[in-house]
Amino acid sequence: MYSSFTSRYRHFFLCGALLCVALGSLFVPFKAQALEIKPFKDKLFAYPQILESRDNGDYLLVKYDKEVDLHGRDQIPIRRVKNKYVKGGLRRHTTSQEFEFEGRNIEISFVARKGAPKFTVIFIHGAKGDRRLGMKDYTFGGNFNRLKNIALQNGGLYMTQTVREFSKEGVADARALVRYLHDVKKAPNIIMVCASMGGQICNKMAHNHNDVARLSGIVLLGAIPDRNLLRSHAITVGLPIVIAHGNDDTVYPWSIQQEIYNSIKRRESRYPIQLILFDTGRHGTPIRMIDWRKTLNWLFRRS
């Protein structure tokens, strides 16, 4: 069973077993071009201080102060951010449903206006999460709310999906979703964002030439490292990659991600990979602290 699906979005997604593919003619592919995300609450979400920068800004060590960036930002620490970090009015643009394509049944939630998106951001949660994690407005410092508003204000599509498990089935679900967006709906500029254990999905897709061909970038947030990334198809063809990690992460060591970044830069100093380390940041810090406007603009300029 899938949730109610408003007519605003019927032209975009297939619906349940009956597959609502009518109205497909309403989808006019957006001509690919360099995108520039407009400012949205930039002063509130900008990096507080860059402690170190090298490789023309591809390596950043960002100051993270728990008292300022968590306790000072949240009304209730971790559970609810202060209202000034959040902008409402998203509900009428938000849909949750079960999406069916090529035999896959995938739980998704998305935020979008009517019409063809100029870009798509797909968020993959970590262990013990589901599609609801990336739709939360008041946790993680309001950063998901900012991302949703950025998508709406810039003609984009923001989507989350439930990952049933993080190996074969999970990859197949994510692959089907990307294939539908790219091949059927001709959606340009698809960015995969994988957090924590969800990094397994991005890591697997980075090694598949068909997946890489459909993507414009990958973002890894406190994600499980892939020591074989250097030998992936993504690196072979120059897919832009952003790695954000806390250097006090006790779940997945930041040092491995730095080794991966360094190995890629040693082979090709101009390779479009960025490593953002949050000084004293822990496992969830990148989700809270990543500057989505800067990150998306960085990716779009290099894709």
Taking only the tens place, the pLDDT of each residue in 69-89 is: 999 999 999 999 999 999 999
Cβ neighbourhood burial of 115 (10 Å; 0-12, 13-18, 19+): middle
214-271 per-position pLDDT tens digit:
999 999 999 999 999 999 999 999 999 999 999 999 999 999 999 999 999 999 999 9
108-161 per-position pLDDT tens digit:
999 999 999 999 999 999 999 999 999 999 999 999 999 999 999 999 999 999
pLDDT of residue 155: 97
Question: How crowded is residue 284: how many other Cβ atoms within 10 Å of its Cβ?
Answer: 21
Per-domain residue ranges of the chain:
29-302
Tell me if 83 sits within 8 A of 69, measured CB to CB. Answer: no
**H/E segment holding residue 176:** helix 168-179
Q: Name residue, tokens 């360099």.
A: 34
Read off the pLDDT of each residue in 196-211 and give the average, rounded to a whole number.
Answer: 98
Question: How crowded is residue 105: how many other Cβ atoms within 10 Å of its Cβ?
Answer: 14
pLDDT of residue 34: 75
pLDDT of residue 172: 96
Q: For residue 223, what is the DSSP state?
A: P
pLDDT, averaged across the chain: 90
CA 45, CA 140: separation in Å to the nearest integer? 12
CA 18, CA 97: separation in Å to the nearest integer? 14
Q: For residue 138, what is the DSSP state?
A: S
**Nearest CA among 42, 28, 302, 284 for reference residue 149:** 42
Residue 115, amino acid? G
Domain 29-302 has CATH 1.10.1510.10: no
Q: Is the model's pLDDT at 24 over the cut of 50?
A: no
Over the range 242-268, which residues count as b (16 or more CB within 10 Å of their CB) and which as e? bbbbbbebeebebeebbebbeebbeee
Residue 293, SS3 per DSSP: helix
Those residues whose C-beta lies under 8 Å from the C-beta of residue 279, and which sit 6 or more positions away, are: 51, 61, 62, 63, 64, 247
Place 14 in a pLDDT band, splitting at 50, 70 and 90.
very low
Tell me if 94 sits within 8 A of 10, measured CB to CB. Answer: no
